[in-house]
Amino acid sequence: MTDGSATAFVPGHVTAFFSPELDDDPTKAGARGAGITLSDGVTVRVAPGQGLELDGEPVSVEAVDTVRSALRIEARIEATTKLPLGAGFGVSGALALGTAIAANRAFDLRLSANELVTIAHGAEVRAGTGLGDVVAQAQGGIPIRLEPGAPPHGLLDGVSDRGRVEYITFGELSTEAILDDGTDHLAAAGRRALSWVVDEPTLPTLLRAGRGFARETDLLTDRVYQAIEAVSEAGGEASMAMLGETVVALETGLSEAGFEPSSCAIHQPGAIIEE
Amino acid sequence: MTDGSATAFVPGHVTAFFSPELDDDPTKAGARGAGITLSDGVTVRVAPGQGLELDGEPVSVEAVDTVRSALRIEARIEATTKLPLGAGFGVSGALALGTAIAANRAFDLRLSANELVTIAHGAEVRAGTGLGDVVAQAQGGIPIRLEPGAPPHGLLDGVSDRGRVEYITFGELSTEAILDDGTDHLAAAGRRALSWVVDEPTLPTLLRAGRGFARETDLLTDRVYQAIEAVSEAGGEASMAMLGETVVALETGLSEAGFEPSSCAIHQPGAIIEE
């Protein structure tokens, strides 16, 4: 052990579409799908101690507790983010992954990058709060999840592009509740969307495949539907973030449609250690 | 096609040790091993046209020509770098990968991230100028190559750490000539070094495993040997870059031993598209 602290930054991640793949082994379970990682993310500081604070408020996040106990550390975690919780930005996955990466450095745990991703992914899957955010956030960019699960089970590709996005959140959706409703229709629609993006790995196709997935799976709320339509009418590309009442658009798509969104870059590096 | 241009940045990569794995399929061939990617790298601008210039001078790089013909583009490539060619920094791999990534954007080729890495890796392996730089440079950080080859054959892990390194180059070594000498002794020593780093994935262990590999394979030149010894005597960690007459040290290891090295950060993002 050590008396040091360490800080990690993990990008936000909006999933455009997904195909849940269940497995008793949480490192093999996960989701195929694709999404966009965001330069708006979560900064996670880990030091010896107790507790978890998000933006100065004590919170309880099951995936983070699981990571702490898997690593056998007594750690105090202080996280900050601009992103809303429970709205489809992968904040819980970012907390789990950021905790693992920063704890590895703060406590000199000597785990490899893949081991840290595997621990955080397994914790998130067990908690039921996410299926594919952690592996996407570890990679960065515009991840395409070809095979579900943590390394070495999961297989990632990516859209090779950069740019800016806008996002707006109207409310929360519970990943757990939606997955509890059954996953067969999600899996079928997710596989169709994935084959489209594999065939043409571009950002506009990713958003179009996401819109198709949202329609087919009946996950669109009225407010999300209307915002996506408004962006399309203004000539832009938008889709729903899975799973939250959130719309993400390329470039200035939402502001050109009259909304007042947040704006950030597509985050190319993926999760990184900061000083 | 388009009249646009695009620019990619690819980090330098110093290999600490490697185990060549030959295969008739260049996407399966490559090397197990580990190394460090550097914030000193190669910026590659691609536009319609002809020619390849490195720092304003016309050069010929077989891997770049192979990438251009695989992509069926008529491209002018202008690259700049602080790194020396032929000295173990993966400059030819960076040129191949940077060309593929920037050309994908400039010519709207709609290839995925993995496809671009595969094309660049195959071109580099065919040219005989490198075996593992491209996949390492695509990932960034401190890549551990567990299985050789391009996606989806290759399997990467990484040391989860950050920091600065120093490097100094005394001269060039020919990767082609050393590989032509036979690879059995390299493969055996490379596998031993890899098992050490897999067991303890830390930066100091990576450098120690690299020193062991360099000794066992008789690749150390006198100047490299003396520099590594001088860094060790000053309390630092250094190793030889495979394959160049180059020494890389953690933090300020070389300057504390009395050398006047270049200095840069470990590059966490891996190859990225710039504006």
Q: What ipTM was reported for this prediction?
A: 0.94
Per the CB < 8 A criterion, the answer to whether A50 and A5 are in contact is no
B197's CB contacts (< 8 A; 6+ apart) are B34, B144, B159, B205, B206, B209
A251 touches chain B (CB under 8 A): no
pLDDT of residue A183: 81
A114 touches chain B (CB under 8 A): yes
Q: Is B262 in a helix, a strand, or coil? A: strand
Q: Looking at beta carbons, which residues of chain B come within 8 Å of A201? A: 110-113
The whole-angstrom distance between A275's CA and the closest CA on chain B is 8
Of A144, A162, A272, which has the smallest distance from its Cβ to B268's Cβ?
A272
DSSP run (H or E) holding A95: helix A91-106
Counting Cβ atoms within 10 Å, is residue B218 exposed (0-12), middle (13-18) or buried (19+)? exposed
Residue keyed to tokens 């406590």: A107
Counting Cβ atoms within 10 Å, is residue A262 exposed (0-12), middle (13-18) or buried (19+)? middle
A70's CB contacts (< 8 A; 6+ apart) are A119, A122, A123
Q: Looking at beta carbons, which residues of chain B come within 8 Å of A110? A: 200-202
The whole-angstrom distance between B38's CA and the closest CA on chain A is 14
Residue keyed to tokens 């120093």: B166
Contact state of B268 with A268 under an 8 Å Cβ cutoff: no
For residues A9, A14, A18, A23, the Cα torsion angle rounded to the nearest 10 degrees is 30
pLDDT of residue A3: 55
Contact state of A152 with B152 under an 8 Å Cβ cutoff: no
pLDDT at A1 over 60: no
Q: How open is the CA angle B238-B244-B248, to the nearest 5 degrees?
A: 20
Average pLDDT for chain B: 95
The 10 Å Cβ neighbour count of residue A260 is 8
B272 touches chain A (CB under 8 A): yes
Question: Rounded mean pLDDT of A238-260?
Answer: 97
pLDDT of residue B2: 47
- Among the residue ranges A45-54, A150-159, B66-75, B170-179, the one predicted with the least confidence is B170-179
pLDDT of residue B3: 55
Q: Two tokens at A92? A: 């819980």
Q: Is A241 in a helix, a strand, or coil? A: coil
pLDDT of residue B1: 39
> In whole angstroms, what is the distance from residue B42 CA to residue B36 CA?
15
Q: Is the peptide bond before A152 cis (omega within 30 degrees of 0)?
A: yes
The whole-angstrom distance between B44's CA and the closest CA on chain A is 15
> In whole angstroms, what is the distance from residue B219 CA to residue B214 CA?
5
Q: Looking at beta carbons, which residues of chain A come within 8 Å of B110? A: 200-202
Question: Rounded mean pLDDT of A167-187?
Answer: 84
A160 touches chain B (CB under 8 A): yes
Q: Two tokens at A150? A: 């943590």
Question: Rounded mean pLDDT of B156-178?
Answer: 91
For residues A44, B138, A28, A120, the Cα torsion angle rounded to the nearest 10 degrees is -10
A60 touches chain B (CB under 8 A): no
For residue B203, what are the CA distances in angstroms to A112, B160, B176, B250, B268?
Answer: 11, 9, 28, 8, 14
Contact state of B144 with A269 under an 8 Å Cβ cutoff: no
Q: Looking at beta carbons, which residues of chain A come within 8 Å of B158? A: 112-114
A177 touches chain B (CB under 8 A): no
- B-contacting residues of A 62-101, CB under 8 Å? 101
Per the CB < 8 A criterion, the answer to whether A101 and A75 are in contact is no
Segment A3-58, tens digit of pLDDT: 599 999 999 999 999 999 989 999 999 999 999 999 999 999 999 999 999 999 99
> In whole angstroms, what is the distance from residue A214 CA to residue A200 CA?
19
Q: How open is the CA angle A34-A38-A44, to the nearest 5 degrees?
A: 115
Of all residues in chain A, what percent carry a pLDDT higher than 90?
90
Per the CB < 8 A criterion, the answer to whether A10 and A97 are in contact is yes
Per the CB < 8 A criterion, the answer to whether A11 and A49 are in contact is no
pLDDT of residue A2: 47
Q: Looking at beta carbons, which residues of chain A come within 8 Å of B272? A: 162, 268-269
A270 touches chain B (CB under 8 A): yes
- Among the residue ranges A5-9, A215-219, A257-261, B248-252, the one predicted with the least confidence is A215-219
pLDDT of residue A86: 86
Q: Looking at beta carbons, which residues of chain A come within 8 Å of B99? A: none
Strand partners, B92: none
Of A112, A158, A269, which has the smallest distance from its Cβ to B201's Cβ?
A112
Instruction: Show the DSSP H helices in chain B as ranges.
Output: 62-71, 91-106, 113-127, 133-139, 175-180, 184-199, 203-216, 222-233, 253-256
- In one-letter notation, the amino acid at residue A133 is D
Of all residues in chain B, what percent carry a pLDDT higher than 70?
99
- 0.90 exceeded by pTM: yes
pLDDT at A131 over 80: yes
Q: Is A90 in a helix, a strand, or coil? A: coil
Closest CA to A127 of A76, A169, A179, A164: A179
Closest CA to B241 of B85, B14, B18: B14
The sheet carrying B262-265 orders its strands as B238-240, B245-250, B164-171, B262-265
Question: Rounded mean pLDDT of B177-192?
Answer: 86
Contact state of B198 with A112 under an 8 Å Cβ cutoff: yes
A234 touches chain B (CB under 8 A): no
Closest CA to A135 of A97, A105, A172: A97
Per the CB < 8 A criterion, the answer to whether B202 and B161 are in contact is yes
Instruction: Say which DSSP state B251 is in.
Output: T
Q: Is B92 in a helix, a strand, or coil? A: helix
Segment A188-224, tens digit of pLDDT: 999 999 999 999 999 999 999 999 999 999 999 999 9
pLDDT of residue A180: 77
Per the CB < 8 A criterion, the answer to whether B150 and B117 are in contact is yes
Contact state of B160 with A113 under an 8 Å Cβ cutoff: yes
pLDDT at B96 over 50: yes
Of B110, B152, B268, which has the smallest distance from its Cβ to A201's Cβ?
B110
Look at B224 and A180; give whichever has higher pLDDT. B224
Of A140, A146, A162, which has the smallest distance from its Cβ to B273's Cβ?
A162
pLDDT at B145 over 90: yes
Q: Looking at beta carbons, which residues of chain A come within 8 Å of B270? A: 269
Q: Looking at beta carbons, which residues of chain B come within 8 Å of A270? A: 269
- In one-letter notation, the amino acid at residue B14 is V
A196's CB contacts (< 8 A; 6+ apart) are A205, A208, A209, A212
B273 touches chain A (CB under 8 A): yes
Q: Is A41 in a helix, a strand, or coil? A: strand
Contact state of A105 with B140 under an 8 Å Cβ cutoff: no
Contact state of B112 with A144 under an 8 Å Cβ cutoff: yes
The whole-angstrom distance between A157's CA and the closest CA on chain B is 6
Segment A66-124, tens digit of pLDDT: 999 999 999 999 999 999 988 999 999 999 999 999 999 999 999 999 999 999 999 99
What's the sign of the alpha-carbon dihedral A151, A36, A162, B71?
A: positive
Q: Is the peptide bond before A243 cis (omega within 30 degrees of 0)?
A: yes
Of A112, A144, A155, which has the smallest distance from its Cβ to B157's Cβ?
A112
A105 touches chain B (CB under 8 A): yes
Per the CB < 8 A criterion, the answer to whether A133 and A85 are in contact is no
